[in-house]
Chain A
Amino acid sequence: MDAIANTSNIMKKTPKNIFTEGPIAPAFISDSIAKHSSNTSIGGHSIFLGQVRADVIDDKQVIAIEYTAYNELALEKMHQIREAIFSKYPLTCMHIHHSLGRVAVGEICLFVFTSSAHRRAAIDACNEIVERIKNELPIWGKEILEDASHQWKVNQ
């Protein structure tokens, strides 16, 4: 329904949800791309997909990341970031999805999708959104290791 953001969408008071329980399905991503074919003012899309990496920590391999968040605050912050990005770049639309709960290695945990008339805005906005999500959203990843022990993820 809300495939294409418009100005009234940006002005909306209630922050949009970004959280999905579990991994983000590749089919959801391709559907999301397909929905944009009707907006012919778009000339470029930029997509970032975060995938859970099988890091090795003290000889033990990461098998999944379990995400938790301070939901209310995260959605408020995301709303502020969304508005700041929309006022900085001439975007046609912006979609953000982040996983909560368990996401296995190889699965997608973050999906950022920006579109604009010309590529530069979509690319730069997408990069900036990813950086700001990692730095500013109160979300935490617990890396589950193969022996069922865990360690708290640290962003680089």
Chain B
Amino acid sequence: MLIMENGKRIQVFFFGKLSEIAGAATTLSNLHNTDELIQHLHTQFPALANEKFAVAVNKQTIHTNTELPDNCTVALLPPFSGG
């Protein structure tokens, strides 16, 4: 049987307060860009709606909707509070 599923695997990491909402990490597939991914995460974890965060794809912070490459790593970064 022909498997039509898009094999794109996306590993998502949640940091700081966001890890309490969504856990430390999750693996997703069938999402093509960051807008789709964020929308998916908001549906899965409604509490994310109240949180401010930046998004990094393969360790690059993005500012607009970005295509997700195969086997990429996406990180959700709440405001930093080191030091």
Contact = CB atoms under 8 A, between A and B. Distances in A.
Interface of A: 50, 67-70, 72-74, 76, 98, 109-110, 130, 133-142, 152-155
A138 B78 CA distance: 9
Given A68-B15, A68-B16, A155 B59 contact: no
B75 interface: yes
A126 to B, nearest CB: 13
Contacts of A152: 16-17, 78, 81
Interface residues on B, range: 10 to 19
Nearest to B76: A70
Contact of A137 (B19, B56, B75, B82): B82
A134 B16 contact: no
Given A68-B15, A73-B56, A152-B17, A138 B77 contact: yes
Contacts of A130: 83
Is chain A's binding surface mostly helix, strand, loop or mixed? mixed
B83 A133 contact: yes
Contacts of B16: 68, 140, 142, 152
Given A68-B16, A70-B13, A134 B75 contact: no
Contact of A154 (B13, B15, B75, B81): B81
B79 interface: yes
Contacts of B83: 50, 98, 109-110, 130, 133-134, 139, 155
Contacts of B80: 134-140, 155
A155 B56 contact: no
A98 B59 contact: no
Given A69-B82, A137-B82, A139-B80, 12 more contacts: A50-B83, A67-B82, A68-B15, A68-B16, A68-B19, A70-B56, A72-B59, A98-B83, A134-B83, A138-B15, A154-B81, A155-B79
